[in-house]
Structure 1
Amino acid sequence: MSNQRSKLYLLDEYIALDIETTGYYRDLDVIIEIGAVRIKDGIEQERFNTLISDAGYLPEEITELTGITEEMLSEGIETEKAIREFLSFCADNVLVCHNASFDIGFLTRTAENYSYSFDNDYVCTLRLSRKLYPDFPSHKLKTVSFHLGLSKSPEHRSISDCLVTVELYEQIKKEVKNRGVTLDELFRPAYKQDLREITATTEYDPNNPFNSLNIVFTGTLEKHTRVEGAQLVANLGAKIQNNVNKETDMVIIGFYKPHQNITVSNKVKKAMALNAKGKDIQIIDSDTFYEWLDDYTQRN
């Protein structure tokens, strides 16, 4: 989508957007209806709505879903005129829509087909609702509107669904304000703990294989989170490091998830490179780590 950007905005002025199509695939299907509603301070100011006459074949299931018939489409306008008038209506306003990748994707492809530029910023209420209401059974517009008790329900027609999206977005704005946070704060990645801050919280027998060592973890441990594993060895006198350096004494290797496509991590590679230069960093796997912990526990 080139210059388009999904934004985390709480806006007083925006344009709500919804389209209806002949199917889900932007390479095969086409837009049959475009709806857009200009909003200021939660109140509708103006709307744009058109059916598209040159959609071609209209699947029966789409008629059943939307109520749109071929006869209705024949009274619409051609795609080129529809997209041109829509872009003129939107100008450079920020758009708000539910499941933006669908609407924005179809509109971008259609605009490109006629050599028009469509690069408006947009806000996706699907993205926001997933973050704010993670316990909802799904985040389809109909489900979210039902669980929030909104006054409107989607009807698979562009303008009606725009108005539901407006009500949802206004509710989201209130929810964020009531929580006393910003959207940037809600979407900020979880704090990654600095393992160097972990220190012993219990007394320990110094006669153990981890005492006084500078230790680095890589991969995922079988029985503990990385923080929990770090705390275990810190409680045995180890000093935890985030990364391998010349001070490192031991690297403990967990497993890697298949999607990570990792066989040897960068931390292990660096430890091996340092060892090749004369350093003596122990590199142990998760099984050995737990064996040594068990041995210590049995002795104490």
Structure 2
Amino acid sequence: EGLTMRMRGATMKKLLRMEVGFHDDPEHTPSKNVFALETYAFRSGNLMLAIGAYANVFGSLVVGLVLGFIISWRMSLMMLALLPVVAVANYVGMKMMMTGQGGTPEELKTAQQVISDAVNNIRTVRSLGVEDILVELVNGWSTPVAKRGKAKAVTGGLNFGISQGLVIVVFGFAFWWAMWLIKNGHNTFTEAMQAMGTILFGAMGMGQAMSLVGNAEQAKMACHDLFELLDRESKIDGIDPTGMEPKDAQAIGRIEFRDVKFFYPFRQDVKVLKGITFCIEAGHSVGLCGPSGGGKSTILALLQRFYD
């Protein structure tokens, strides 16, 4: 949890330091940035779980086998043959239980974004009368997800039932073998139960731990994306204390544009400013007039150095 918190803090700081053009990129929309904060740091922190899972697998297997062979080597040999079945069954069972804990599908993320925008702009939606269109859009994204979810639930239930049934079959066979050893005087009841229990529960622990190891691949991918963001340098860092400062006292407060041409980084086909020139002396008030999309907000954005 501490590692996840530090990663989320570092990601948030990096997002705040990135230039405005970075956030204009369709690949860095607010919803995707929130997804990075929620998911990347959490999955990266799961690497620690994977390391613990590997240790758990090794410990469960070694301790179970050692204790089992010390108590009864005959019972342990039979249980060793059944070990893969128990481990695989518990691995599949744990995977099925964790299936519902995955992330939100991309279709639902898009639908959630549309619903959020529609609620925030409900007056515009009502004035345009597009409620039915929005409902159709949301249904179009959510219906395939629901169908896949139903199919996944059926197959997941079958796999879980079969895996748990295999464990019961192994238990039955182990008890039959223990009865045969006791009947023929090779082991006492206590020895047979102890040997069977140590190896059987060791194998079950190994299978459950192995189900956590699969998250390591997601964690590696999340680490790659996370550090790609953290290593990226901001083109315009407003927090960085270095930079040019005006030395001429008369120039402080004076604003001058000379044949400025500008287009937004991700809309290069639309020229917003087409060679604008003007000068505002310090202490003067000037109004910027023009139609919507004429570049008034762009001029203010350039003055604040949102763009170079």
TM-score band, normalised by shorter chain: under 0.3
More strand by share: 1
Instruction: Tell which has more relative contact order, 1 or 2 (C-alpha 8 A, sep 6+).
Output: 2
Given the two structures, how large is their TM-score scaled by the length of structure 1?
0.23
More helix by share: 2
Given the two structures, how large is their TM-score scaled by the length of structure 2?
0.23
